[in-house]
Amino acid sequence: MTDFNYDQTRHLKKLIPAEEITAIDNWIKKYPPERKRPPIIAALKVVQDHNGNYLTEEMMQAVAEYLDVPHVAVYEVATFYSMFHLDKVGRHVISVCNNISCSLRGADKVIEHLQNRLNIKVGETTEDGLYTIKTVECMAACGGAPMLEVDKVYHENLTEEKIDQILSDIAAVELTQNSSSKQHENDADSSNEFSGEAQD
C-alpha cells in the first residue's frame, strides 16, 4: 500500500475542473474505503475525456495519487483496455475488431477500405486531426462481425457502403458543429462591436 498524503490529491485538482473531481468522488463513494482500485477505470475515463481523448504520464500519476493506489495499477488498466489512449489521437477513433470472428468475416477488407478512404494506415491520424484507425481484440459483438466502434457506437455487419455512410454521418456532424461555432464567434464579435459603439 502506498503512503497516503492528502497534499497529493491536489495534483489532480490542478489538472481537471471541480465538477470532474466530483464525478470521480462519486465513483469512489460506491466502494468501501479499503477497495481503492475499482474506481480506476472511471477516473481514467473522466481524465481522458477532459484531455482530448488521451492520457499523459502526468495524468496517470495524478490519478494514482488521488485514489491512493500504486502507479503501476493505473498504468496496467490504461494499457489493458483499448478505450484508453496513451498517445494523441483523432477526435474520432475508429476501432476495428480484428479477432478471429471478425477476421473470418472480412475485417481485413474493412481496414483496407478505411485506410483507402482516409489515406492513413492503422495507428495513424489524419492530418486534420479528425480520425484515427486502430485495431482491437474482441468487443463482444461476434454475431455482428465484421464490426467497428466509433464515438461509443457499435456498427455491425459492415460493408463498404455502410462504412462510407458512417464516415459521411461523422462529416455531417463536424460540419454542423463548425458552422455553429462560427455563428457563436460572429455573434460575439457583433456584440462587442455594438458595445463599443454604445460607449462612443
Q: Which residues are annotated as a binding site for [2Fe-2S] cluster?
A: 97, 102, 138, 142
Element spanning 163, H or E? helix 160-199
The residue written with cell numbers 463536424 in the block is 174
Residues 6+ apart with CB under 8 A from 137: 82, 97, 98, 99
Q: Please report, in range form, the residues annotated as the binding site.
A: 97, 102, 138, 142
Helices assigned H by DSSP within 105-159: 107-118
Distance of CA 140 to the CA centre of its chain: 19
**Cell numbers of 45, please?**
475515463
- How far, in Å, CA of 113 to CA of 115, rounded? 5
Question: What share of residues in the chain are helix, strand, coil (percent, to 5)?
Answer: 55, 10, 35
